[in-house]
Structure 1
Amino acid sequence: MARDKCGKILIVDDNEDVLLSLNMLLKPYVEAIRVINTPERIIEFMDSFKPDVILLDMNFHRDAISGEEGYEWLDKILKHNPKSVVLFITAYVDTEKAVMAIKAGAIDFIPKPWDKKKLLDTVKSAVELSKERNRNINNQKQYTITEVSPQEAFARFIGECPAILDLKAQIKRVASTDANVLITGENGTGKDVVAHALHNLSARNTKPFVNIDLGCIPENLFESELFGYEKGAFTDAKGAKEGRVESANEGTLFLDEIGNLNLQTQQKLLTMIEKRQTQRIGSNEVNNVDVRILAATNANLCKKVGEGEFRQDLFYRLNTIELHLPPLRERGEDIILLAEHFLNIYSGKYSVGKVVLGASAKKKLMQHTWPGNVRELQHCIERSIVLNDKPELSAEDIRLETSSTASASYLTIGGIENVESLNLQTLEREAIKRAISLSNGNLTQAAEMLGITRFALYRKIEKLGI
């Protein structure tokens, strides 16, 4: 969670020891904390303290393990503010409760006893989700306006392998047009970096760049986030809100994880693209908009079209130009270039002086398959800087992710040979169940085992009816 403080946390638990422990643990990392030992005061603190995240105990009576009280209070919290981000605290976690909690609207579990690092990571992710849900509230536009040179536009785009050099050349050609672009590639390859480069090299680079991560937004909020709403349009719409499309007017709208968009919102997005008009929920007024759309996905949209999960006409509209990012394992010496880039960033951030990679460290980095791609490499280098005080890192100082190992162990323990069907959906369902079971209901850990984001796991749970 680094040293930067983020978010306001409300902790609700009837155990004074738990309140004290969590308060002491989280205090150095967050902006403010409030603790209460009775759930009856939750709404009061929601209105006065306005927490970004609520840590809620599931059981408030001695020997209670059902979690029913937690579900009841979760329902009250979400009725009071549907955008609330709630993490359950419980010593009794199983697969059934984990799935029930997610369906009820919780974000994740914090098991007792907790692992400090996982707890901090979970809280940080929850705060980020809370900020995302509340972005643009009260019509405050949350976008970046930049004016940069072509050299600056590629400052974050590290790489010299043939595929990346060809991609940079394509970006330069495409950026000057207003063509919609679909950016494809595995998770963690840097699709957002490509989107920013396209915007920064375009004639729109002094106008808004609005990013909406559809993988972090509940499905029932897609439409309101994209198109906004008027006061009274639905329960809890206490004021008007500008949609992201309006915010991006004359600029660039970046739709990350476009494959998550439901069919109903796909239709409205298609209409907006074709007519260049947008309409808020609850309004009869139509507004003209001028936006360039960049979309990104790690999914096979052609397959989704064939399965009826993605509109073919929208796919063609988004796919005027397709730019593909290769996985890190196919980029050769770029691995070392990126590693050295992150070394410079984190050695400065943590004030440890100049740090270099030794020959054995470079060999280890080159031999790894990097299932998490550039994002995994970035975390690996940051972890190596934090845990070592050497001017030169060796192979033993490079601590690689274990998610691929955990996924492999599932195949060994659960075994494909023990699954009656080789249907991909069935295998995926069994893998998710197994990961949730192995992680004792900790969905953050389960997602790591599966090699996907926690929010992607939520969507799969809902989609597969687990």
Structure 2
Amino acid sequence: MTHSILIADDDVQIIMALKLLLKTHQFDVVVAQTPNEAIEHATKREFDVALIDLNYQADTTSGQEGMALINDLKKLDELLPIVVMTGYSSVDIAVDVMKLGASDFVQKPWGNERLLSILQNQISLKQSRRLGNKLAAHNALLSNERSTPSCNIVAESAVMKQLLTQLEKLALSDMSIMLTGENGCGKACLPIIFIVVHRAITIHM
């Protein structure tokens, strides 16, 4: 499976080496030589992971440009894993970039196996977080539907209104329902009504 990666580094030789390595391992590689160029790419498309340098031509030692880039990338995609790579690594810088949202830290020159392992792990973590967010949103929707049942069926008769009220109450339970009655009395319509009141109930007829 191909994964997309954004690489930001101002060293052409570094970019060439990374492209050769990552394309061999089925990565769709997009490169940027400045933070602004990286942001431009990230604005246009989503990436599975980003591999960025901390230092660029305007400031080659402090890591401030890279830190600002991390912040900007996270604003565009808070789930984007960002792996930081720099030749001026230190414990202090590593701590700072992690606080900003970087996922991991690699020092130049890197080890190919370790770098590939880090990238694959971060991609897997992003997929897990995205799935977790979808499940949480789905559960929140179900919870809201259970707490605020609604019915869009219009009823005029008092008997039908009473039936719909009872169904809305039943829709909040987990019980199974058995419908009885003579042929032609409308039993087949009731499963549709249960769907309308937003609750899946096992119905036996």
TM-score where L is the length of structure 2: 0.65
- Local SS of the residue matching 1:96: helix
Identity %: 28
How far apart, in 2, do the equivalents of 1:289 and 1:115 lie? 57
Match of 2:81 among 81, 85, 95: 85
- Local SS of the residue matching 2:56: coil
- Local SS of the residue matching 1:83: coil
Q: Is 1:103 matched up with 2:12? A: no
Q: How far apart are 1:26 and its partner, in Å?
A: 0.8
Q: How far apart are 1:62 and its partner, in Å?
A: 6.3
Match of 2:120 among 110, 124, 128: 124
Q: Which amino acid letter does the alignment assign opposite residue 108 of structure 1?
A: D
Equivalent position of 1:278 in the other structure: 143
Match of 2:24 among 25, 28, 35: 28
How far apart, in 2, do the equivalents of 1:108 and 1:289 lie? 47
**Conservation of the 8 A alpha-carbon contact between 1:6 and 1:127:** no
Counterpart mapping for 1:38-437 below 5 A: 38-61=34-57, 64-135=60-131, 227-228=136-137, 242-243=138-139, 278-279=143-144
Q: Which amino acid letter does the alignment assign opposite residue 27 of structure 1?
A: K
Deviation by residue 1:120-155 (Cα, 9 ceiling, x = unmatched): 1011111112222333xxxxxxxxxxxxxxxxxxxx
Q: How far apart are 1:6 and its partner, in Å?
A: 4.0
**Conservation of the 8 A alpha-carbon contact between 1:86 and 1:107:** yes
**Conservation of the 8 A alpha-carbon contact between 1:9 and 1:30:** no
**Conservation of the 8 A alpha-carbon contact between 1:12 and 1:37:** yes
Q: Which amino acid letter does the alignment assign opposite residue 127 of structure 2?
A: K
- Local SS of the residue matching 1:134: helix
- Local SS of the residue matching 1:61: coil
* Shift in alpha-carbon separation, 1:83–1:285, aligned structure 2, 3 A: farther
How far apart, in 1, do the equivalents of 2:24 and 2:44 lie? 22
Gaps of 5+ in 2: 150-170, 175-205
Q: How far apart are 1:52 and its partner, in Å?
A: 0.6
How far apart, in 2, do the equivalents of 1:62 and 1:78 lie? 22
Q: How far apart are 1:289 and its partner, in Å?
A: 9.6
* Shift in alpha-carbon separation, 1:40–1:226, aligned structure 2, 3 A: same
* Shift in alpha-carbon separation, 1:114–1:285, aligned structure 2, 3 A: farther
Q: How far apart are 1:86 and its partner, in Å?
A: 0.8
* Shift in alpha-carbon separation, 1:288–1:82, aligned structure 2, 3 A: farther
**Conservation of the 8 A alpha-carbon contact between 2:43 and 2:76:** no
Q: Which amino acid letter does the alignment assign opposite residue 55 of structure 2?
A: N
Deviation by residue 1:245-270 (Cα, 9 ceiling, x = unmatched): 77xxxxxxxxxxxxxxxxxxxxxxxx
**Conservation of the 8 A alpha-carbon contact between 1:278 and 1:288:** no
Q: How far apart are 1:37 and its partner, in Å?
A: 0.8
**Conservation of the 8 A alpha-carbon contact between 1:8 and 1:30:** no
Match of 1:10 among 6, 10, 13: 6
How far apart, in 1, do the equivalents of 2:135 and 2:20 lie? 39
* Shift in alpha-carbon separation, 1:63–1:84, aligned structure 2, 3 A: closer
Dislocated runs of 4+, deviation >6 Å: 286-290
Q: What is the alpha-carbon root mean square deviation over aligned residues?
A: 2.8
- Local SS of the residue matching 1:278: helix
* Shift in alpha-carbon separation, 1:278–1:58, aligned structure 2, 3 A: same
How far apart, in 2, do the equivalents of 1:28 and 1:279 lie? 47
How far apart, in 1, do the equivalents of 2:61 and 2:90 lie? 11
Q: How far apart are 1:33 and its partner, in Å?
A: 0.7
| Count of residues in correspondence between the two structures | 152
How far apart, in 1, do the equivalents of 2:37 and 2:59 lie? 22
* Shift in alpha-carbon separation, 1:278–1:61, aligned structure 2, 3 A: same
Larger Rg: 2
Q: Which amino acid letter does the alignment assign opposite residue 52 of structure 1?
A: D
* Shift in alpha-carbon separation, 1:226–1:70, aligned structure 2, 3 A: same
Q: How far apart are 1:11 and its partner, in Å?
A: 0.4
Gaps of 5+ in 1: 136-211, 213-223, 229-241, 247-276, 291-466
TM-score where L is the length of structure 1: 0.30
Q: How far apart are 1:51 and its partner, in Å?
A: 1.2
- Local SS of the residue matching 2:24: coil
**Conservation of the 8 A alpha-carbon contact between 1:57 and 1:89:** yes
